[in-house]
A and B are shown apart, each in its own frame.
Chain A
Amino acid sequence: MHSFGYRANALLTFAITILAVICALASVSDNFNSPSPSSQVQVLNINWFRNKPDGDDEVSMTMNISADLQSLFTWNTKQVFVFLAAEYETPKNSLNQVSLWDGIIPAKEHAKFNIHTTNKYRFVDQGSNLRQRDFNLTLHWHVMPKTGKMFADKIVMTGFRLPQSYR
């Protein structure tokens, strides 16, 4: 009844239970954080705009991305994955989402940033529908916890338009 094996087993079970409860509580505590992130993006220049030989449109642009995501961080946050996507509708597709840039924010101190960049991933359409196309730029973030549930949200910025002709 009180052999070494039984005691070791009981102790291990108890320790794992406590650990699981603490992990669950840490994850639940994230729900009490009500973040207020902000973001602003400017398209500074259309570097080039072409129709690729396979028929798809492709554009390269320079952007200025600034955001303050500090309020997303809690004690249970490991990192925040942030990315900017172009979102638009075409006659062919009811929704197109194309990631243009992304970054990993490892700590709260780096969560307020202002960067000047060209699109890191290619902005290629399915087809040739980008001329004079209105699009949104949406800043998405994905909060990765130390343990538990992941959170995601976004800020949509509207009113961007691509040029009328290739250049």
Chain B
Amino acid sequence: MVVTVALMIWKGLMCITGSEAPIVVVLSGSMEPGFKRGDILFMHLSKDPIRVGEIVSFKIEGRAIPIVHRVIKVHEHQNTGELDVLTKGDNNYADDTVLYTRGQKWLKQHHITGRAFGFLPYVGWGTILITENPIIKYILIGAMGLLVITSKG
């Protein structure tokens, strides 16, 4: 029941926001002090072109986990409207050119998976604990299974 509802909410959010990952958990301190580890961000993905200052999540080829950083440079090509975007973490010393694929200087529109619009602190800590300590996950699943078996309905 709970799992079904969670999945419905997730898919529903995906439809409304147009982003494949409508909620992301901040995993690193690269956006501190704005966003800390364990905070969650709500993302959308609209057709409007990206502008400087926005906080976007993007995927780099060969990396599974998207990065959430701020856009510091935008070049929009005449006629085609194609975008070249450069990002940087607020708390990082240098821009993200070093994080991109070798030889890649800019992010294109298709790299970007979401644009942040909302924020909640601490809520993502559960996810971080579970992913970094698989034992907790097994204990949780075991406890839930026990509850289901022993409950009298």
Contacts and interface: CB of A to CB of B under 8 A. Distances in A.
A142 to B, nearest CB: 6
A90 B79 CA distance: 12
A148 B119 contact: yes
A92 B76 CA distance: 9
Q: Which size class do A's interface residues fall under?
A: 20 to 34
A149 B120 CA distance: 9
B76 to A, nearest CB: 4
B122 to A, nearest CB: 10
Q: Which size class do B's interface residues fall under?
A: 20 to 34
A142 B53 contact: yes
Nearest to B106: A126
B77 A94 contact: yes
A46 interface: no
A98 B79 CA distance: 20
Which 5 residue pairs across A and B have the least CB separation, nearest first?
A97-B52, A99-B72, A95-B76, A97-B74, A140-B53
7 contacts: A81-B70, A95-B76, A98-B73, A99-B53, A144-B35, A145-B119, A152-B53
Interface of A: 23, 27, 78-79, 81, 83, 85, 90-99, 102, 104, 106, 121, 126, 140, 142, 144-150, 152
